[in-house]
Structures are given as C-alpha cells and as structure tokens.
Amino acid sequence: MPSERARQVRGEPLIEKILEATLDELARVGYAALSVETVAERAGVNKTTVYRRWPTKTDLVGAAVKREADTALCSADTGSLRSDMIAILTEIRDMLSTRRGQALIRMILAEGLTPEVAALMNEIRKSKESGPKATVARAVARGELPRGTDVEMVFSMLVGSLQHLLFFHHETPTNHRIAQIVDLVLEGACRGGGRCLRSAN
C-alpha cells in the first residue's frame, strides 16, 4: 500500500488536470451549461473520480475558481500607496486580459444572479480583495488618506474603472491609463471624497 506522500504525489497531477479542465469548460460554456461528465472526459478520467472528491458541480467549480483566484492577486507593500495600487491594478489588468480571465469574468457577470454563483464569487472576491484592502487601510493608518476613508469603496472604484474600460470600451488600459485612474481616485480620496460618513445632501 502506497504511503500518504506517494498517494499525494500521484493525486496532485490528477487534481490539477480536473481543475484545469473545469476552468476550460467554464470559460467555454459558463456555469449553467457546465457538465461534470464533459469535464471528466476532457480530463481523461472517469466521472466517479470527479464526484468522489467534489460531490456537486458547485463544489467542483468552487475548487477550480478558488485555485485560479489564489494565484491571482498580490498584496503590494512598497511603502507608497500610489505605487502599490498601480502594481495591483496592473496585475488585475493582466489577469483580465488573458482569454481565460476574460471568460471567467464574463461568466461571473452573465450568471451573477444565480445564487450559487453569486455566493461563490462573493467569497472569492472577499478573499482576493483582502490584500489590496489591507494596503489601502495601511495608508489610512499612516495618514496618507484621511481617517474614516471607506477602504472598500476606494478599492471598488479603482477596480470598477478598470473593468469598465475593459468590458464596455473594449480597451485594455495602458500603464499610463492605470496611473491616471489611481491618481484620480487617490487624489479624490485624499480630499475626503471617500469618507464613510460624508453627508449625501
């Protein structure tokens, strides 16, 4: 009987293959139309092998997307909020410019109202955003941004601006454009535009 370690070594490439096949299928047909059978075929394994580890489609897709998301967002800490945010947005732009990145985001957007997909994506978004949001929070702590700055909103505006250009203007933002977005949002936030309790009058 093989040792635990030997089984892991034998198991990992299989897991990798199945999760890769899941991401490719997701990018190709989206969540609603994804079939575990097709994923198994694509990975060259029996569908019971897939079901044994991930009993439902949501489990399988969740594992695949989490794995992709885990390797995706840095938590820059160069000491300057501006250069940290430029680094993070550059990374997001690069990720969203790959064929698979685009397909995944389009899937999220197209099927975001499905409660299963929405719950999964919320969880992933929160874990992915924790690094960048900590970066903004540090800037508030050291006085680069006013106390009371709404960290989540500031980060949402940076990412939303980038996504808008990519998905509505079909423009891949240049490094220059990214710096422009960061400058505008941070200057606005410096002036207190992003405070939580600002009156809406």
> Which residues make up the interface to a copy of itself (CB under 8 A)?
30, 102, 106-113, 118, 121-122, 125, 150, 153-154, 156-157, 159-165, 167-170, 174-181, 183-195, 198, 200-201
d(CA 11, CA 115): 31
**Closest to 28 in 3D by CA, of 8, 42, 14:** 42
Q: How far is the CB of 148 from a copy of itself (least distance, A)?
A: 12
Read off the tokens for 163. 């996504």
| Of residues 46 and 127, the one with the C-beta less far from a copy of itself | 127
| Of residues 54 and 155, the one with the C-beta less far from a copy of itself | 155
Give CA 64 to chain center in angstroms: 12
Contact yes or no for 159/92 (Cβ under 8 A):
yes
| Of residues 46 and 180, the one with the C-beta less far from a copy of itself | 180
d(CA 134, CA 138): 6
| Of residues 52 and 176, the one with the C-beta less far from a copy of itself | 176
- The SS3 assignment for 149 reads strand
How many residues does the structure list for the chain?
201
Q: How far is the CB of 181 from a copy of itself (least distance, A)?
A: 7
Contact yes or no for 91/74 (Cβ under 8 A):
yes
Q: Name the β-bridge partners of 195.
A: 149
CA distances from 18 to 54, 116, 123 (A): 11, 21, 22
Q: How far is the CB of 151 from a copy of itself (least distance, A)?
A: 13
Q: How far is the CB of 59 from a copy of itself (least distance, A)?
A: 22
| Of residues 12 and 183, the one with the C-beta less far from a copy of itself | 183
| Of residues 110 and 134, the one with the C-beta less far from a copy of itself | 110
Q: How far is the CB of 156 from a copy of itself (least distance, A)?
A: 5
Q: How far is the CB of 26 from a copy of itself (least distance, A)?
A: 13
Read off the tokens for 139. 């800037």
